[in-house]
């Protein structure tokens, strides 16, 4: 699969889809992801660590992703299996679908919070690995949120609210896994079998075509891979789905988790797959916590603070990427309070300093630093140093690229002087990182 590989190869039949990355995506800097499903009812996982930091031999039985609950509870001896027996009496997973009511869900309210972050796009899960669809998808035989649980087309509500706020709308679809359709054993290792047959490939193809026809998404965000039987060209192949997508949405983009087929941009996840974070066509995704789905076991120590989210966003943008930051909605449809605080704090920072990230490019001639923490970006006519150190700051500028007399924070000039290979800037005490902007000499 192309996912996380440093040297994926497009098959000849997919090369026709190659084209420059649309500027709207490249300049967005920030997208917001939402994971929401029946797994939000138990909302349970072990907060063991970030993907890429937990040993692979421990990952599946001790999975920190609450959205993997349907798999983890089937691994004998896992803490999730014990939890399901002790708390839920070993009930079938689909009981959670019927218990999921989304009684407090207001898509407009969720998107108001999302839009306030400054994000350029929004992507909800339409079908995760449990196979439950959040719209009335073809051939699901009522195993969807229109027929059961919320009894609503949640994707339509998300799409309408997203576009009403002026954001681009994307859809997440798990093509590589479907634990309900495939009826395979639980995944307990990296090389566990996944559905590759033609029946599943055509089923998934029809779902993607339906998403395109109904919602005209700007982003197709696949996950894990695509069934191998659907890669070869044909009337229900992935190539056909991509052609339908680009015909309907010429400025649309797709990620790299559709098997080794085609992609417009690469993706990393938490600290896993970071070797693909090169150039200016990549995106890092992660939750505010250690899980994408809502996890009641997560405390403040597991969540990004607003300042940490700011530093992550700036770091990603300074290296040429976008950040896709995830919310795990509660079963009721509410944004958890702690996650909302992070989003609101990120939005407040972006209101003041978003000029340093939105539409920004890396400035490779100036080097980042961790002591003090400094990251560099560039926009038309300005170079920005983002730092979280107050007081007197030395910014290395050995090639004298910057005009020190032009130093500003927002609209206000700040004292700055040249000292050999550095510019010394005096920054008042601040509770959050600041962006110091300069006029370049070139």
CA pair distance 335, 288, nearest whole angstrom: 12
Note whether 271 and 53 are within 8 A (CB).
yes
Of 45, 130, 41, nearest in space to 79 by CA: 45
- In 3D space, the residue among 153, 118, 64, 105 whose CA is nearest the CA of residue 353 turns out to be 118
Task: Identify the structural domains of the chain with CATH numbers, from first to last.
Answer: 12-356 (3.20.20.80), 363-440 (2.60.40.1180)
Q: What is the residue whose two structure tokens read 């499903």?
A: 37
Helices 107-116 and 154-164, interaxial angle, to 10°?
Answer: 40
Distance CA 377, CA 367 (A): 10
Residue 101's SS3 state is coil
**For residue 429, pLDDT beyond 70:** no
With residue 203 as reference, give the H or E element that holds it.
Answer: helix 198-215
CA dist., res. 147 & res. 134, Å (int): 10
Cβ contact 215:155 at 8 Å: yes
pLDDT on residue 236: 96
- d(CA 65, CA 34) in angstroms, rounded, equals 13
- The residue behind tokens 């395979």 is 184
* Residue 184 near residue 70 (C-beta atoms within 8 A): no
DSSP letter assigned to residue 22 = P
Place of tokens 């890396």: 362
Average pLDDT over residues 295-310: 98
Give how far the C-alpha of residue 260 lies from the chain's centroid of Cα atoms, to the nearest Å: 20
User: Residue 96 gets which letter from DSSP?
Assistant: H
Contact call for residues 54 and 314 (beta carbons, < 8 A): no
Are the C-beta atoms of residues 225 and 258 closer than 8 Å to each other? yes
Q: How far is the C-alpha of 171 from the C-alpha of 221, rounded, in Å?
A: 6
Per-residue confidence (pLDDT) for residue 431, from 0 to 100? 64
Question: Strand 282-287 and strand 322-328: pairing?
Answer: parallel
Is the Cβ–Cβ distance between 290 and 47 less than 8 Å? yes
User: Is the pLDDT at 430 greater than 90, yes or no?
Assistant: no
pLDDT tens track for 15-51: 999 999 999 999 999 999 999 999 999 999 999 999 9
Total residue length of the chain: 442
Phi, psi of 354 (to 5 degrees): -60, -20
Rounded average pLDDT over 275-279? 95
Query: Distance between alpha carbon 314 and the CA centroid of its chain, in Å?
Result: 15
pTM exceeds 0.95: yes
Among residues 102, 216, 85, the alpha carbon closest in space to that of 156 is found at 216
CA 147 to chain centre: 28
Query: Tens digit of pLDDT for each residue in 131-177?
Result: 999 999 999 999 999 999 999 999 999 999 999 999 999 999 999 99
The pLDDT of 305-318, averaged and rounded, is 98
Confidence check: pLDDT of 342 > 90:
yes
CA dihedral of residues 280, 286, 288, 292 (deg, nearest 10): 150
Express each pLDDT in 62-88 by its tens digit: 999 999 999 999 999 999 999 999 999
Tell me the two tokens of residue 230. 């659907």
Grade residue 264 by pLDDT with cuts at 50, 70 and 90. Answer: very high
How many Cα neighbours within 13 Å face the side chain of 85? 11
Under DSSP, the state recorded for 272 is: B
Residue 313 CA to residue 360 CA, distance in Å, equals 12
439 or 390, greater pLDDT = 439
- 1 pLDDT above the threshold of 80: no
The two tokens of residue 432 are: 């959050």
Residues 6+ apart with CB under 8 A from 304: 288, 289, 312, 342
Q: What is the dihedral of CA 176, 181, 182, 184, to 10 degrees?
A: 110
- E-state strands within 243-365: 253-254, 266-269, 282-287, 322-328, 361-362
């Amino acid at each position: 699969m192309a996912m996380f590989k440093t040297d994926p190869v497009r098959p000849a039949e997919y090369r026709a889809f190659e084209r420059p990355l649309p500027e709207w995506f490249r300049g967005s800097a920030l997208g917001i992801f939402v994971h929401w499903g029946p797994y939000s009812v138990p909302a349970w996982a072990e907060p063991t660590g970030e993907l890429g930091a937990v040993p692979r031999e421990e990952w599946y039985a001790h999975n920190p992703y609450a959205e993997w609950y349907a798999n983890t509870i089937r691994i004998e001896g896992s803490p999730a299996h014990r939890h399901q027996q002790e708390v839920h009496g070993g009930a079938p997973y689909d009981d959670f679908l019927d218990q999921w009511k989304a009684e407090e869900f207001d898509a407009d309210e969720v998107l108001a919070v999302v839009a306030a972050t400054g994000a350029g796009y929004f992507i909800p899960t339409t079908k995760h690995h449990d196979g439950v669809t959040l719209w009335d998808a073809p051939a699901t035989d009522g195993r969807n949120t229109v027929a059961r649980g919320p009894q609503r087309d949640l994707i339509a509500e998300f799409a309408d609210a997203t576009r009403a706020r002026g954001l681009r709308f994307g859809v997440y679809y798990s093509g590589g896994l479907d634990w309900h359709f495939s009826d395979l054993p639980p995944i307990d290792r990296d090389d566990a079998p996944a559905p590759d047959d033609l029946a599943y490939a055509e089923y998934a193809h029809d779902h993607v075509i339906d998403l395109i026809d109904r919602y005209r998404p700007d982003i197709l965000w696949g996950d894990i891979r695509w069934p191998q039987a659907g890669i070869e060209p044909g009337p229900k192949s992935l190539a056909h789905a991509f052609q339908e997508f680009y015909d309907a949405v010429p400025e649309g983009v797709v990620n790299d988790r559709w098997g080794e087929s085609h992609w417009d941009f690469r993706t990393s996840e938490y600290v896993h797959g970071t070797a693909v974070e090169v150039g200016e066509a990549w995106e890092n995704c992660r939750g505010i916590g250690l899980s994408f789905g809502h996890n009641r076991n997560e405390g403040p120590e597991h969540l990004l603070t607003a300042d940490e989210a700011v530093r992550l966003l700036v770091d990603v943008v300074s290296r040429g990427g976008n950040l896709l930051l995830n919310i795990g909605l509660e079963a009721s449809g509410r944004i958890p309070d702690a996650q909302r605080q992070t989003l609101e704090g990120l939005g407040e920072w972006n209101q003041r300093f978003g000029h340093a990230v939105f539409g920004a490019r890396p400035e490779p001639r100036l080097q980042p630093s961790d002591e003090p923490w400094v990251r560099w970006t560039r926009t038309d006519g300005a170079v920005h140093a983002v730092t979280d150190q107050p007081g007197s700051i030395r910014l290395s500028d050995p090639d004298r690229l910057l005009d020190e007399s032009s130093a500003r924070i927002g609209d206000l000039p700040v004292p700055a002087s040249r000292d050999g290979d550095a510019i010394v800037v005096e920054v008042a005490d601040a509770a959050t990182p600041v962006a110091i902007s300069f006029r370049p000499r070139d």
